[in-house]
Structure 1
Amino acid sequence: MSGARIEDLLRVLAPQVLGLLVRRHGQFDAAEDAVQEALLAAATQWPAQGTPDNPRAWLLTVATRRLTDEWRSERARRDREAALAAREPAYAGVAPAADEQPPDRDDTLMLLFLCCHPALARSAQVALTLRAVGGLTTAQIARAYLVPEATMSQRIRRAKQRIGATGARFTLPGPGERDERLRAVLQVLYLVFNEGHTSSGGPDLHRVDLTAEAIRLARLLHRLLPDDGEVAGLLALMLLTDAHRAARTGPAGELVPLAEQDRARWDHAAIAEGIALITEALTWSPPGLYQLQAAIAAVHAEAPSAERTDWRQIVALYRLLARVSPSPVVTLNQAVAVSMVEGPRAGLAMLAPLDADDRTAGHHRLAAVRAHLLELAGEPEPARAAYLAAARGTTSLPEQRYLELRAARLAPGAGTAGQRLPRAGTSSDVG
């Protein structure tokens, strides 16, 4: 088996093995460390010695040994070994489930819920999910989020300690809590995907490792919860958005906005899958945040060219989205769509209230959208100033270069280029 296939297998098996260890023994912190050591051993040994016949059992055996060795190194060897033998431990940390489940059960869903525990900050939920469920190393997560490895390691360690301090049980939350926890899981996956789709900083527009991992986890969640419309909607949104990736950058890595992309370079298999998912989900599930965003992305994907985009349908979908899940980001994108139907002045009027909203005031995406609409309205000087303000506000080098180029083309005597649309805050309408 190739190294790439082994890595894929380990990512699939990691949450299953961790879930089984936590369910049997509790103590999420120690169990997660043991699984990471088992994964490292597998990544080192399997390429040379071959993949075992039962790789999951191999990982479970190695992780259990590491866990036992850790306990033996402490001064409570007899008590801990007795508890392990009886399979009724009561260690500090995550309490084991009351009922022992079959050993082949996939506990990944419970693990996702645990990593998105409400006691954790969102940044900690993201980091812990990527490590415990995604199988990424601390170094990989740190590189993806442009922070030192020591900082990310501390964030993950504190998250595990926090979960242990809550005394959370490794079971699915009850009906009253499940919906709220599932929303947290979906938001974590959405944040991971968005960071990969347009990196918040650094030289690259994309972080393919993050988008691929978010899509993989969304597929897994959809398999575990096939009757949840929002899960299907999130997976569809990711597929439809990521389908543009090859066309979003030019030869030098420059940003190419949706209206100028070569649609022949889009991933049409991913588009077909995403459209089928959202079309089917909307037939039986009340439309929610992710389903409506996916529906908007589908309208863009179905247009044979930018000029033939059904903007009226997109405006209608944004109006519904604004009622279902109002937010400044929705308003920002809605203003772009409205400007395509009613003219740029109508879009600019929608942006005005966002200047007083702390979530968007001074944000570079608000300045970028305002610049675009001012340019469409025939006001080059205010548009140029807004483009420059947006460029100063982003730490993404491809976005910064794009916005500075737009500003330069509006300088006196420079002439103007064709109309272009900068990314406005979500990935559904601008590629």
Structure 2
Amino acid sequence: MSLQLINRSPDLKRLRDEGYEIEVRAGHLLVHSVPYVNPRGETAMGTLVSNLTLAGDITARPDSHVAHFVGEHPCNLNGTEMAQIKHASNKTDLGCGIVTDHSFSNKPADGYADYHHKMTRYIEVIGAPARSRDPDLKAQTFRPVAASTDESVFHYVDTASSRAGIQALSMRLARRVAIIGLGGTGSYLLDQLAKTPATEIHLFDGDVFMQHNAFRAPGAPSLAQLEAKAPKVEWFKAIYSNMHARIVAHHCYVDETNINAILGFDMVFICVDKGSVRQMIAAALVANGSSFIDVGMGVEVAGEAHQLLAVCRVTTVTPDRTEHIASRIPMADRDEEDAYNQNIQIADLNAMNAIMAVVKWKKICGFYADEEGEHHSTYSTSMNLLTTDEVTE
């Protein structure tokens, strides 16, 4: 991906062709072997780093004038720090092994036209004292830089994380996950998980994508696409594989004959509406010491006004917390008269249910702070009330 990006981006290609040691990693551009003078008046080499603004597989105009630096703070010949570029000095983990020591701020009146303009301007300023001592000292070493062997799960660079400076934090989500059931909530779960660096996303569902599914799932299929009656897992894989490269489709229902297929994941999301199936899956996961998040939604028509009452539920089970399963996860099959069994599901509630589950998963992964450690939460639409319990001790 990095070589393709460099070859297709005129500013990056120009930097490489002019002999700069450039590398693209984790949504950032790195220029190695940048000469500077350190606080002791010695000539040293550092690495200049910038986040990348991309339009697909080509660079766009830089959206930030700030640059980062790996090394000591560049100084003048007398050992004083270069105040004209000073921004902040602290260790910053940008992900994938990029840990910077300083950040610089140097903004032209009209901003930077491209990354060649940005990086060479900083290199010129940083290296001026060193070049005054040795005019032949340049960052243009023409030394080749090996292409990164790190394979991304994405087909294009996650510039949202790099732009926000949370690339290292996002990598905590690099886990194997599975979604059982691609109905309303399960499909919104996929929509969210496909935007994370999950190492694999496995989909389990034996249904085909029908017209009623279109009204409670992300996206907007055409009539012709609905008439194709594609398996749900293949339908959603085709959409989200445009972004995430490691989505695995299993066109089957999970039952006793294939239950082993859901074992071994870092997290399993259970999105089924049949209690006996949920019970079978939960029992197998608990016996295996696996973590899972079970989601549920109850909707019924109530009152003379015939309005909907709805509750979204998210219940988390980890190897050290299983005692709440019986009281919090419904395991019995509902009778045919039950309002939930009438398939009352609304897209916004499906999406909310999925978001609640994803937020909890991200807490478990250490992405979000988690002061409560809740293993069960519900949201009631009529009271606009979010409740949590089963707090860890």
The answer to whether TM tops 0.5 is no
Query: In proportion to residue count, which structure has more strand?
Result: 2
In terms of Rg, which structure is larger? Answer: 2
Query: In proportion to residue count, which structure has more helix?
Result: 1
Q: TM-score, normalised by structure 1?
A: 0.32
Q: TM-score, normalised by structure 2?
A: 0.34
